[in-house]
Amino acid sequence: MDKLLDLEIVTPQRPLFQGKIASVTVPGELAPFQILFNHAPIVSTLTPGVVAAKDENGNSLFFAVGTGFVMVQENKVWVCVDKAFSRNDVDKTQTEQLLAELKSKLLHSKSEKEKAEIATRIAELKAQIEICEK
């Protein structure tokens, strides 16, 4: 299959993934969207969620990401996010415990800023749990 994209997923701390893929779906701010070979150039913001890719052999790859952006140009896709995790990076039990604690904290939070920060963190943790279950 020669109609492949080059995908890079990077954080300020490290590159998480670099490789050839057939397609990728990213968590766009308005809705998830798929990127295929010859996609129009685009830059879009990303919300916490799951990046799902299919490699050249049809295998599924899943990554949990925080906020950031995606850029597509000439069959190259850059996912630049503040946090990114593969399934091997996530301790599901610990993540579920942290998620429960944050949900409780959200109920007792007073400030809108704190509520927004907790909600973002909850979305990140849910994405991490989701990739463990795939």
Instruction: Tell me: do 122 and 105 sit in the same domain.
Output: yes
Instruction: Tell me: do 17 and 71 sit in the same domain.
Output: yes
Residue 1's pLDDT is 53
Structural domain containing residue 32: 5-87
Q: Is the pLDDT of residue 14 over 80?
A: yes
Instruction: Tell me: do 23 and 74 sit in the same domain.
Output: yes
Residue whose C-alpha is closest to residue 27's, from 63, 74, 72, 76: 63
What is the reported pTM? 0.92
Strands 84-86 and 76-81: unpaired
- Structure-token pair, residue 84: 């990114």
Q: Give residue-wise pLDDT tens across range 50-98.
A: 999 999 898 999 999 999 999 999 999 999 999 999 999 999 999 999 9
Span 7-26, average pLDDT: 96
Rounded CA gap, 23 and 60, in Å? 10
Rounded CA gap, 49 and 131, in Å? 10
Our count of domains for the chain comes to 2
Query: If you average pLDDT over every residue of the chain, what do you get?
Result: 95
Q: Classify the C-alpha dihedral 79-80-81-85 as positive or negative.
A: positive
Contact 129, 95 (CB under 8 A): yes
Percent of residues, the chain, with pLDDT higher than 90 = 91
